[in-house]
Chain A
Amino acid sequence: AQKITQTQPGMFVQEKEAVTLDCTYDTSDPSYGLFWYKQPSSGEMIFLIYQGSYDQQNATEGRYSLNFQKARKSANLVISASQLGDSAMYFCAMREGAGSARQLTFGSGTQLTVLP
């Protein structure tokens, strides 16, 4: 079974609008972390936001917020006020188990295009 599922291969959003990128995950470990990364066309992987399984509140970082619904095992990324520079591939990832020094499992990604 896929551990991380991103069902939207591509998304379009108008500049200045908000957009939600979907991510569902599968784990039986009670301790886990969820990450979002951005990969522009230049190729680098940029860390955006993190949510821990025991965190009570949804994570926010500037224009990024994570809509964490634990019972539904979803961790959607919300980007508010989209900018042209947000056009990129976005990856959801999960780290399973307690402790920070563990590998990430990535989803297949969503290609976001911001339209002027």
Chain B
Amino acid sequence: DSGVTQTPKHLITATGQRVTLRCSPRSGDLSVYWYQQSLDQGLQFLIQYYNGEERAKGNILERFSAQQFPDLHSELNLSSLELGDSALYFCASSARTDRVTPYEQYFGPGTRLTVT
């Protein structure tokens, strides 16, 4: 158990819909990352938040958005869903304040999104 939790585990929805994926980082971790794993694109970085602020953006579509709340949990919002958005979405966290060299990123179990 990495200590990172993600809900829901599975999500099946129709094209054009909007969904929200939720992530709770490990206790004390300030950084949250979202990654998408699909068969054709592999594992891709989407977006990072650090202590509530957006830190970096990767290949994130304009239809997707995210935020990190004061309690450090994060949500990834996917709207106007298309078939190609079907993927495994991972959240990862890192950067504990109480560690000298906080370098690992620990991944949650993922949310498997199926768009039909």
Contact = CB atoms under 8 A, between A and B. Distances in A.
B101 A103 contact: no
Given A35-B105, A44-B110, A50-B104, A103 B50 contact: no
B102 interface: yes
Interface residues on B, range: 20 to 34
A contact face: mostly helix, strand, loop, or mixed? strand
Contacts of A95: 103
Contacts, number: 62
Interface residues on A, range: 20 to 34
B43 A106 contact: yes
Interface string A93-113: 101000011111110110000
A93 B103 CA distance: 13
Contacts of B101: 100
Contact of A103 (B30, B56, B109): B56
Interface of A: 33, 35, 37, 43-47, 50, 52, 91, 93, 95, 100-106, 108-109
